[in-house]
A and B are shown apart, each in its own frame.
Chain A
Amino acid sequence: MSLEKPYLDVPGTTIFDAEQSRLGYHLNQFCMSLMKAENRSRFKADERAYLDEWPMSEDQKQAVLARDLNRCISLGGNIYFLAKIGATDGRSFQQMAGSMTGMTEEEYRNMMIGGGRSADGNRIVGEHGDAQAENQPQGEAGRLLKKSPLPASGTAPHPKTPGSEQ
């Protein structure tokens, strides 16, 4: 009998279950290491060399170097672990969460002050809310990234969560 996973059709959302945890084990453990000031300094001094100490996939390392949190999550990262990277960079939780929406920091902050994102249209893939795949990116930051000649690295769809990516 297959496992019950009723959460695979929530738009813009990857649930960190045992399968994701397995995929992201070394990525998340790398993040944990940044809870020590000494490790934060070593990482900042040479990010690539520090990442190479961990048996992470090249995709995972590239996603960390690009600070592409959506991509990190699709590769097994969990936001509470990934927050240690943001903390090392001196970013707030709000800046980190906002970075995954394609909005500028100001756009995201204003959305929260305005009462936050509505659940309406965002409960199930296929509705028409702002978190749905066809409505990405949601703001100016994402539109600028899209115009850039370099391919944005957060664009690969997650195999298990249709619609969770841009």
Chain B
Amino acid sequence: MAKITASVYTSHVPAIGAALDLGKTQEPYWQPVFQGYDFGKQWLKDNKPDVIFLVFNDHATAFSLEMIPTFAIGTAAEYTPADEGWGPRPVPKVIGHPELAAHIAQSVIQQDFDLTIVNKMDVDHGLTVPLSLMCGQPEAWPCPVIPFAVNVVQYPVPSGRRCFELGKAIRKAVESFDKPLNVQIWGTGGMSHQLQGPRAGLINKEFDNMFLDRLISDPEGLASVPHIDYVREAGSEGIELVMWLIARGAMSDVAGGPAPTVKNRFYHVPASNTAVGHLILENN
């Protein structure tokens, strides 16, 4: 039986990818950001999974306004890093896990979540920056990755509650896979930020830290926070945080198991326009 062993949470800022690709990680502006991932990089080496289930959002890259899936699961064998307008990032292509992905798609749809199945897409910084933060600049990513894209660009986006419930369905799906795979689930994006209008640059450290506190100890209650609270408190793009609730809902304590161990917690302002948050929780 496959098992989710840990969840990893991190922001996914495009400028972080650019700083890494252009060799700026030791500059005074960026050094504190990357230092916050030193623990996580070592932890991932010591706890290498067989598969990473990576929850992220596409930023008008694979999905234009032609089609806007709320939840999309990648079942392809591989995914190419996208050209987001600056040219593609010089990072390895992403190898998928079609067998497990197809199994999860089947199971989660049978649990009443309407997933869009994607067999061809390019992946943008939403997916590649978290991998870079946790792996550095390897020749190849350490394991196959199942991309799971959530619409947080066009409102209404899925509620925190629905994301949390979806996480529960994903855990059940993984545990019904008949091979002994060690799976990590990553929730990416977010912490407070707003990229538009005269309110651009909004950062709310109090909200972000409250979110991290409650994500650890009260995810059920946190799932009830309505969208409008994210918009007012964390900025129009802070809504990306609902994706963290998918990863949190897949942890075993939510289904009656013991509380997870907090292996790492990091928070820093700013990275370009946003706050950066990072958390690692291990199942017990």
Write the nearest CB–CB distance from B141 to chain A, whole angstroms.
23
A window 108-128: CB within 8 A of B: 108, 111-113, 115-119, 122-124
Cβ of B82 and Cβ of A35 under 8 Å apart? yes
Inter-chain CA distance A17–B82, complex, in Å, is: 25
What's the count of A-B pairs with C-beta under 8 Å?
Answer: 171
Cβ–Cβ contact A117 & B199, under 8 A: yes
B60 contact set on A, CB distance < 8 A: 28, 31-32, 78, 80-81, 83-84
Does B275 lie within 8 Å of A12, measured CB to CB? no
Q: Is B283 positioned at the interface, with any CB of A under 8 Å from its CB?
A: no
Contact of A17 among B14, B84, B154 (CB under 8 A): B154
Q: How far is the CA of A12 from the CA of B196 in the complex (A)?
A: 8
- Number of contacting residues on B, CB 8 A? 47
Contact B84 A87 (CB under 8 A): yes
Distance in angstroms between the alpha carbons of A44 and B11 in the assembled complex? 33
Complex interface: chain A residues within 8 A of B86 (CB) = 87
Which 7 residue pairs are nearest across A and B when measured between Cβ atoms?
A116-B203, A87-B85, A12-B198, A12-B199, A131-B199, A80-B60, A97-B200
A60 at the interface (CB under 8 A from B): no
Question: Measured between C-beta atoms, what is the minimum distance from A159 to chain B in Å?
Answer: 15
B143 at the binding interface (Cβ < 8 Å): no
Kindly state the separation between the CA atoms of A94 and B270 in the bound complex, as whole angstroms.
11
Assuming A10-B232, A122-B199, what are 8 further A-B pairs, CB within 8 angstroms? A34-B85, A40-B85, A73-B196, A81-B65, A93-B14, A93-B195, A102-B198, A117-B203
B51-86 interface code vs A (CB 8 A; 1 in, 0 out): 000000001110011101000000000000011111
When the two chains form their complex, are residues A97 and B195 in contact, meaning their CB atoms are under 8 A apart? yes
Is the pair B200, A80 in contact by a Cβ cutoff of 8 Å?
Answer: no
Cα(A1)–Cα(B195), bound, Å:
32
Q: Do A70 and B197 touch (CB < 8 A)?
A: yes
B238 shortest CB reach to chain A, Å: 10
Distance between A113 CB and nearest chain B CB, rounded to angstroms: 7
